[in-house]
Structure 1
Amino acid sequence: MNEHDMQHQLLVQKATASAEQAHESVSGDYYRQGFHIMPQAYFMNDPNGLVYYKGEYHAFFQHLPFSVHDGEKVWGHVKSKDLVHWEYLPVAIAPSQFYDRNGCYSGSAVDDDGMLTLIYTGYIEREGERTAIQMQNIAFSEDGIVFHKYDGNPVISDPPEDGSLADFRDPKVWKHEDTWYMVVGSSKYGYGKTLMYRSRDLRQWDYIGVAAESDGSMGQVWECPDMFPFEQNTHVFLTSSLIIENGAITGGKNLYMVGSLNYEQGKFTSEYVGETDCGCDFYAAQTLHDDQGRRILIGWMDWHAAPRIEAANNWFGSLTIPRIMTLLPDGGVQFTPVPELQQLREGHQRFKDVTLREGVRGALGDISGDCLEIIAEFELEDAEPAAEFLIALRRSELHDQETIISYNSETETLTFNRDKSGNDFKGSKSCSLPPMSGGRIKLHIIMDRSSVEIFMNDGRLVSSNRIYPHPDSQGLDVYASKGTVKLRQLDLWKLKRVMR
């Protein structure tokens, strides 16, 4: 172990100890999730390095190990055998060298013939200047726990002319035949871009060209790109794009594109564009391919402008539940919860053929809970043209607190509304949702204390959201607010908590 490696291991140990020591006091916070990946303490955002390695799922994430608000980012690390029970591991990499001294930013992980290799962005702030430098680096591990940085870092020190010095980050790497390929997020003249490289050994990289770029309506900076071969000889490209106005982030888009990739020219041709998630709190999605041949996606279930309610209790951030991606006949993508989550179910209840009439509450009786799974199917084919149904979650006894999911048959729009969800954490988001055959709307809802994820029409759309209601607000109601709606079937389970 050389001097640089010793310095890195000491910083890793210090960061790991900080989060571990704070975990005991943090774990008692009510808003801690029961089955989602969270930091032991302090701050987390982007998932990194999702990989299936030696029979286990590994997830890394950007992490502040000493503070909820400030500091230099490291890579937190968890692993699981079943995508449900996650084990906290030591911090994987921490800022220790000239090429990452101000932070180890997002990237990916690959299994290189048994060597777990991380490819990440090193962040460097230049004194007296607003623009930072971003470089691509690698670190490797033989046991999947202790990582050593490559002595030849950075492996890519400068962006090409097609990119931007200030926006050159989040490398995603995969192997095609006997060659490694990398896409890196960037921008140029206000247009989001993804740059593509190739390598034989993960150490020497050759620039190929711009794989994909914005048409002007897809954000000014493309972050967290992910590209991979998919079903039926297609490729999928994911990107999280920033919308910037007057130098400030005002919004973001989470897009997926299905198409074809010319590996020789490094050009991706899009044939279908969809939204990875249409909720209030979702960003920086990344995927992995497992031993069952599944493409599994996990995203950050928060947002840059979130008020960080849980930060008052010394932690912030959560990842989504893992979702399986499947190609649909029309070229779009379906997102569904991994079936492993079903082991959390207990206390099944079923309701069938319930007529929901305007203004009549409590049709399902007294139901409550703060960790629930709901699968509900509504029939609107014979309903009035302007029929509307609502699902009220986390409702208080006085009805002054509740989270509302509503669907309007006239506008064919589903809306998630958290204006009364608690802690002055407000806002709503709507998604266009045409009915399935027979005028059916199917909603698969997974709720975990401070989050609600909605899978619509068998995963055609997904909406991920954080909420912060009072612990006593646990009521649930399903009713029609306009006209009459038939609830064909509703299945409900309480979900066990396995994280703390």
Structure 2
Amino acid sequence: MKKALLFGFLIIVLGISQADDRFRPQYHLLPPSNWLNDPNGPVYYNGYYHMFFQYDPDSPVGIMKYWGHFYSKDMVHWIGLPIAIAPDQPYDINGIWTGSTSIVNGVPIIIYTGINESHAQVQCQALPANLTDPTLSKWIKWPSNPLITSPNGRDPSTAFQDDHNNYYLIYAFDCDELSGQAVLFTSRDFVNWTYLHPIHSNHYDTFWECPDIFNVSNRLVMKVSLRGQDFWAVGELDPIQKNFRPLAGDVDEYTQLIDQGKFYASKSFYDPIHDQQVIVGWIGEDDDQGEKRGWQGMHSLPRSIFLSNDGLQLGSRPIEALQTLRVEESHRYFHNIVLPSTIPFELVHDDLDFGLSVLSTLDGSQRTSVGMMTRTNTTFMPNWDVPGWDYFSVPGITNSLDCQHACDQDIKCRSWTFDSAKQMNNNCFLKSGIPNLVASLTCTSGVKQSETKQQQQLVWVYINRTLSQRSSGTSRAPLAVVEVFESQGGRLAITTRVYPEEDTAQNLAVYVNSGSTTNQTIVIDTLDIWTLNSIWT
């Protein structure tokens, strides 16, 4: 008997609308209209949580950037406030870009990137106009702005201190010699900053964005955004050289992904009330209807960060406070479900082995599948591609066995694909990660033997969308967000946007693939379902 690992996962399906807009998600932070992207400067101060964000108040396509502002008593229900910082000075006239908030001598201080008159990136400071105002609704800019003008870079992090009360912050910087890097600055007074050196870098990545550095359970963590995704790594800071040294996996490696879906430009902060480090990411859109809707973008659910038992890996899960949104009388509980069974637990034909179909029509013609694909023999897989994470195309390869051998001989290689439809010298692709499988008639792929741990079963988790041809005159169903978290080790999270075409695409079903699970029994240990209230008070 085979037990379905999927339903050790916490699956949250989020969507529908605020009361006056059926297309707006109910449980994710976003302004009433127009453009939102990066979370900025989250902080807890004087009894309230504050979340700032990249905001264009005049356009849903993100032309000019301001800092929008929400505050909350519980990090669940949010209240909108006036714009916190606007581009109105020569040093930031072309945009208020990403930054962070630090508590300095009991005062919250923002450091942000301003885009000046010549479009250079400079680092600036803002302070609350009235510390007795619990909403911190008004901010004033430091009269000596900009504080840092070189090197040209952006997205300053929350500051940290050493044992001698020196402040440090990092921001992203791009140069020819070290393509992806974060640079380190220090200050005694949080006004006069001195450049030190790159705190961490590599020689092959694209420009790093939104770097962050923080502690989790007395371990130092660095986080960066690159290639459209966010990565983090546990490490330590050399006390003399002040360089970050990863302990198990670097910030550009596949295994260090925070979220395998749409989660980018994240910011974290320390929550002293619950003694947790919380991270929030930007969820961008996948469609081209933002201008028509009048808004685009939202933030992920707040996630609590924690360390693995060995102290070398990181995980995340939704903060516990989100459970207060559950409507208890809506709770449905299932235990020891044997698949296949009766509707709504049914067989479907899909690429995935087993999982959930959410936002599904009754006939299954439209659905979003959150499920697993499992393979025991993964070292050599004909008719499968593993697209992405390519770092080298091996010249002179004529067959899949030679491509497999090339991967085995390369210490960086974790998987490979040979594509017979491509020309020699561009048909064997070595990969630094293990991407999800995609069926292909021309490809053979494999995972390096050392990665499979002698034929240990590997599991890929997917979010797939199946849409029927939209009929003329059909109204579009409410939009949704799906966030998936592995509930045991917390190492896996996947976020996506969903755009159902039919109003009836609001059903849930558990499925197994009739083709891939022959002679096997899938057992779901427990499945809990709740309706959630809106976050909007």
Structures share a fold, TM > 0.5? yes
Q: Does 1:199 align with 2:187?
A: yes
Match of 1:239 in 2: 224
Match of 1:92 among 61, 84, 96: 84
1:309 shift after superposition = 3.1
Q: Does 1:480 align with 2:512?
A: yes
1:302 shift after superposition = 1.4
1:329 shift after superposition = 2.0
Q: Does the aligned pair in 2 maintain the 1:39–1:317 contact within 8 Å?
A: no
1:188 shift after superposition = 1.8
Match of 1:208 among 188, 196, 219: 196
Match of 1:67 in 2: 59
Deviations 1:327-355 (A, max 9, x none): 10241111011110111112111111111
Which whole-Å CA distance do the structure 2 matches of 1:135 and 1:46 have between them? 18
SS at match of 1:29: coil
Q: Does 1:329 align with 2:309?
A: yes
Match of 1:467 in 2: 498
Letter in structure 1 aligned against 2:367: E
Match of 2:236 in 1: 260
Letter in structure 2 aligned against 1:409: T
Which whole-Å CA distance do the structure 2 matches of 1:295 and 1:113 have between them? 20
Match of 1:223 among 201, 209, 221: 209
Q: Does the aligned pair in 2 maintain the 1:389–1:479 contact within 8 Å?
A: yes
1:148 shift after superposition = 0.3
SS at match of 1:340: helix
SS at match of 1:204: coil
SS at match of 1:77: strand
Letter in structure 2 aligned against 1:194: A
Q: Does the aligned pair in 2 maintain the 1:260–1:268 contact within 8 Å?
A: yes
Which whole-Å CA distance do the structure 1 matches of 2:528 and 2:305 have between them? 23
Match of 1:106 in 2: 98
1:82 shift after superposition = 0.8
1:421 shift after superposition = 9.1
Which whole-Å CA distance do the structure 1 matches of 2:293 and 2:352 have between them? 42
Which whole-Å CA distance do the structure 1 matches of 2:125 and 2:143 have between them? 9
Letter in structure 1 aligned against 2:238: N
The 5-angstrom pairing of residues 7-406 of structure 1 reads 28-124=20-116, 126=118, 132-141=119-128, 142=131, 143=133, 144-159=136-151, 165=152, 168-176=153-161, 177=163, 178-189=165-176, 191-216=179-204, 219-231=205-217, 233-242=218-227, 252-273=228-249, 274-291=255-272, 292-302=274-284, 306-330=286-310, 331-346=312-327, 347-357=330-340, 362-364=343-345, 388-406=353-371
Q: Does the aligned pair in 2 maintain the 1:46–1:284 contact within 8 Å?
A: yes
Q: 1 or 2 for the larger relative contact order (CA 8 Å, sep ≥6)? A: 2
Structure 1 residues 301 and 100 mapped into 2: Cα distance closer, same or farther (>3 Å)?
same
Deviations 1:421-444 (A, max 9, x none): 9999xxxxxxxxxxxxxxxxxxxx
The number of residue pairs the alignment matches comes to 405
Q: Does 1:455 align with 2:485?
A: yes
Which whole-Å CA distance do the structure 1 matches of 2:482 and 2:192 have between them? 43
SS at match of 1:394: strand
Deviations 1:157-208 (A, max 9, x none): 120xxxxx3xx10001223242221110122226110001111221100112
Letter in structure 2 aligned against 1:272: A
Match of 1:429 in 2: none
SS at match of 1:498: coil
Which whole-Å CA distance do the structure 2 matches of 1:407 and 1:136 have between them? 45
SS at match of 2:82: coil
Residue range with higher mean Cα deviation, 324-333 or 59-68: 324-333
Q: Does 1:494 align with 2:531?
A: yes
SS at match of 1:188: coil
Structure 1 residues 33 and 104 mapped into 2: Cα distance closer, same or farther (>3 Å)?
same
SS at match of 1:155: coil
SS at match of 1:208: strand
Q: Does the aligned pair in 2 maintain the 1:407–1:414 contact within 8 Å?
A: yes
1:312 shift after superposition = 1.5
Normalised to the residue count of structure 2, the TM-score between the two structures is 0.71
Letter in structure 2 aligned against 1:151: P
1:408 shift after superposition = 1.7
Which whole-Å CA distance do the structure 2 matches of 1:120 and 1:393 have between them? 40
Normalised to the residue count of structure 1, the TM-score between the two structures is 0.76
SS at match of 1:89: strand
1:116 shift after superposition = 2.1
Residue range with higher mean Cα deviation, 114-123 or 43-52: 114-123
Deviations 1:440-488 (A, max 9, x none): xxxxxxxx95100000243211101111114431011002113221111
Q: Does the aligned pair in 1 maintain the 2:345–2:511 contact within 8 Å?
A: no
Match of 1:245 in 2: none
SS at match of 1:343: helix
Which whole-Å CA distance do the structure 1 matches of 2:337 and 2:535 have between them? 33
Letter in structure 2 aligned against 1:493: W
SS at match of 1:91: strand
Which ranges of structure 2 fall in alignment gaps of 5 or more residues? Answer: 1-16, 250-254, 376-457, 472-477
1:38 shift after superposition = 0.4
Letter in structure 1 aligned against 2:465: R
Q: Does the aligned pair in 1 maintain the 2:79–2:536 contact within 8 Å?
A: no
1:230 shift after superposition = 2.3
